[in-house]
Amino acid sequence: GFKFELGPEARWKTLITYIVDKPVDDIE
């Protein structure tokens, strides 16, 4: 799982990385 004890900035980077790494078909 993700570690959300990190600051907002690190949290966003993790979230963006997660979204970018997902297949495009999953994002609709």
11's CB contacts (< 8 A; 6+ apart) are: 2, 4
Q: What is the pLDDT of residue 21?
A: 82
Q: What are the sequence ranges of the domains in the chain?
A: 1-28
2-26 burial code (b ≥16 CB/10 A, e <16): eeeeeeeeeeeeeeeeeeeeeeeee
pLDDT of 27: 59
The torsion region of residue 6 among left (phi > 0), alpha (psi -120 to 50) and beta comes to: beta
For the stretch 1-28, pLDDT in tens is: 555 566 888 888 888 888 888 777 765 6
